[in-house]
Structure 1
Amino acid sequence: MPSESKHSRRDDDAKEVKDSDSAFDAKEGPTIIDRVVGFFFENEDFCKALDHFADNHCDIFDVESEEMQLEYTDLYQQFTKLFEDKIEEFIEAQGSSVKEFYKLVKKAHDKDPHGTIATYSRMLVATTDFAVFVLMMKQAKQAKVEAKRESK
C-alpha cells in the first residue's frame, strides 16, 4: 500500500471536513464526529496500524484471481476488529461513547444525507467492507512485490 499517497489524500480529505459543513461549533470546538474524522484521516499511529496489518497479512492474497478464499474471511474479521477497536478507543479517550457518536452521525445524516458528515460516515463504513478490504490487501501485496523487484 503506497502510504505516501494515502496519507496525503487523507490530509486533503480531513482539510475538506474542517472547511465544510462539519459539526464544528465555534463556541465548543470540534465535536466527536470532527475528532473521529480527523483521527481517521490524520492519525499516524492509526494509519500505521492498518498498514502494518496489511503488510503482515497480504501474502496469502492472489492478485490475479477473483476467487475469494476462506482465509480472506478470517483476516477480514481480524481487520474489522482492529479497525473498530482503534476507533472505539479513540472515541472513549475523547470522553464520549460509541453510542453517542452513532447517535450524532445518525442525526447529521437524517438532517442532510448528502452532507459532509454523511459522506464521511459512509467512508468509515466502506473501510470495513469486505470487497474494499480484499482490494486493499491485494494492493498491499502488489506494492510489496514491486518494492522487492525495485530493490534488486
Structure 2
Amino acid sequence: MSQNDARRLLDQYYAAFNAGDVAAMEALVTDDIAHDVNQGDRRTGKAKFVEFNAHMTRCYKENLTDIVTMVAEDGSRAAAEFTVNGAYLATDEGLPEADGQTYQLPAGSFFEISGSKISRITTYYNLEDWIGQVKG
C-alpha cells in the first residue's frame, strides 16, 4: 500500500469513528486485527473488535479533533495524535460512576496496515487524567 493510500485509509477510519459508523470502521480492519487499548489486554480478531466497539458505544460518546496522522513511506505503519472529546454515558466496570460527564483528553494510536486494511491498532491515553475529569 502506498503512503497516500494508507493515509486515505486512516482518514476513512477516523471519519467513520466520528460519524459513529462502527460498521464502516469494522470493514476497514483485517479479520485477525490485533487491538490494544492502553493498559488492557490485546484483543485479537474482528469479533473481539466488534464486541469492544459495542461496549464503547454503550458507555461513551466520543468525537476526535485535531487529528494528525503520520505514515511510513511504504504505507505499512502509521500513527495518529488527536484530542478525544467525550461524554461518559454508562458506568464502565471498575471505573467511576457515569452521569453524562464530559471530558477532553489527548490520545494517540499506532497502526499496522496489511494489504488494504488495518491489521493492528494500539491506542494510548492518560487514564488517570480521564478519571480525574469524570470524578469532578
Rg larger for: 1
TM-score by length of 1: 0.29
TM-score by length of 2: 0.31
